[in-house]
């Protein structure tokens, strides 16, 4: 990424949300800020729950021309008319996803803090690589993706990179020169006013 470019925003849904409320909340955020992509990241593996959530969010994102990808569930992408899949197993499923979904679909891969996995996923056809968490979060084993990984990646690798997990204003300001996207999820949705929170975080990206 060029050093003078502001990173783009990549939204991650909560692991669980109310269909009566969250799509409206998402729409308000999308109407206020330019968002590159939304990831449906439900913890549930219940097909009906996933399908109903995807249908509701697709209405919101399609109306605003924002890409919608689903976490893990390759087989639901085409069935639900989504733009692609976000894989969570490093480089292992990238080639399989690319073969199943074709060249036009978005295939992203979360590679924790592994440079090796990130490079392998990129070589297998991933459109972007996600590293994280970059901050403190209770959802991991304590391992963090280091600044040096992003710094090296931004100088050497052309595949776009997402920084996510445990973000705050200080980390966003630090990592902005070395990442293409910031993946924002709980950092927004756990606050009383996600729109205002995003505005505050976006202000330190440039």
Residue 112 lies in a domain: yes
Within-domain flag for 1 = no
Residue 134 lies in a domain: yes
Angle between helices 194-203 and 22-32 (to 10 degrees): 30
Confidence of residue 126 (pLDDT cuts 50, 70, 90): very high
The CATH code of the domain that includes 14 is: 3.20.20.70
Q: Which pLDDT tens digit goes with each residue over 28-82? A: 999 999 999 999 999 999 999 999 999 999 999 999 999 999 999 999 999 999 9
Question: What is the domain count for the chain?
Answer: 1
Rounded CA separation 91/186 (Å): 25
Task: Say what the pLDDT of residue 142 is.
Answer: 67
The confidence score (pLDDT) of residue 143 equals 82
Q: Is residue 66 part of a domain?
A: yes
Q: In which element (H, E) is residue 201 found? A: helix 194-203
Q: Is the dihedral of CA 67, 72, 73, 75 positive or negative?
A: positive
Which domain does 83 fall in, by range?
Answer: 8-203
Residue 170 pLDDT: 97
pLDDT of 148 above 60: yes
On whether residue 3 sits in a domain, the answer given is no
pLDDT band at 139 (very low <50, low <70, confident <90, very high): low
What mean pLDDT is predicted for residues 166-189? 97
For residue 178, being part of any structural domain is answered with: yes
In-domain check, residue 172: yes
pLDDT at position 206 is 82
% the chain with pLDDT above 70: 96
Query: Does the pTM exceed 0.75?
Result: yes
Largest CA distance in the chain: 44
pLDDT for res 141 = 64
Mean pLDDT computed over 81-109? 97
Domain annotation covers residue 181 = yes
């Amino acid at each position: 990424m060029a050093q003078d470019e502001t990173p783009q925003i990549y939204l991650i849904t909560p692991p669980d949300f109310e269909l009566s409320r969250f799509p409206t909340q998402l729409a308000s955020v999308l109407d206020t800020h330019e968002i590159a992509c939304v990831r449906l990241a439900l913890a549930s593996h219940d097909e009906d729950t996933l399908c109903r959530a995807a249908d509701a969010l697709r209405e919101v994102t399609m109306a605003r021309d924002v890409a919608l990808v689903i976490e893990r569930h390759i087989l639901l992408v085409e069935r639900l008319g989504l733009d692609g899949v976000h894989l969570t197993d490093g480089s292992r499923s990238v080639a399989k996803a690319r073969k199943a979904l074709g060249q036009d679909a978005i295939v992203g891969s979360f590679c924790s803090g592994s440079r090796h996995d990130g490079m392998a996923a990129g070589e297998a056809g991933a459109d972007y690589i996600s590293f994280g968490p970059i901050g403190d979060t209770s959802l991991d084993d304590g391992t963090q993706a280091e600044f040096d990984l992003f710094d090296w990646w931004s100088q050497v690798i052309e595949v776009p990179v997402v920084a996510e997990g445990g973000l705050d204003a200080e980390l966003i300001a630090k990592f902005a020169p070395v990442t293409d996207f910031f993946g924002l999820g709980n950092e927004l949705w756990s606050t009383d006013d996600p729109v205002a929170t995003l505005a505050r975080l976006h202000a330190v990206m440039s």
